[in-house]
Structure 1
Amino acid sequence: MKCRNTTVSDMEKEYIEQKDKVKQIMSRIPNRICLTSDVWTTVTSEGYICLTAHFVDENWKLTSKILNFCRMKPSHTGVELESVVFDCLKQ
């Protein structure tokens, strides 16, 4: 069984690899990308947002990739949403 530190390290490496892979895929998209967001608040009043990109790939297959999952302070106003989406995309 792996120790906690090894597991955390392996997960971080996998995250970086997958993030780089998504960046490469997104850089090859010749046309439009549609962004969707899902915003919710937990029963303990913690807010979250998940950003997803949707696009048609080079094989004409509709593809969706989660770009980021971020904390979001309530209230979920349009101004707050704009700020959080922009910050999530910069990561």
Structure 2
Amino acid sequence: MTDEINSPSHYMLFPDMEAIDVIKAALTPEEFAGYCKGNALKYRLRAGEKGPVEKCIAKACWYQNKLREVTRADFGQQNTIDCRTPEEKAEIA
């Protein structure tokens, strides 16, 4: 069974490389951060239009977490859904 959120099979290019790896390598760090932020926003704005709302929000959170990984920055305003892992939440508590 494939993980449609964290590692969709249709994004696997090679056994050890996904499309996101190629995109990251092709962009500057700032461009990649913008790419992640834009995708997180896109999935939130159209949540429920191309599939279940929960799946769309999970994809938005995946990009939000990827953005946090590469920038260690928060995404958007305070009213966004908190997508941090329990471990990440505990770090600032």
User: TM-score of the superposition, structure 2-length normalised?
Assistant: 0.29
Larger radius of gyration: 1
User: TM-score of the superposition, structure 1-length normalised?
Assistant: 0.30
Which has a greater percent of strand?
Answer: 1
Which has a greater percent of helix?
Answer: 2
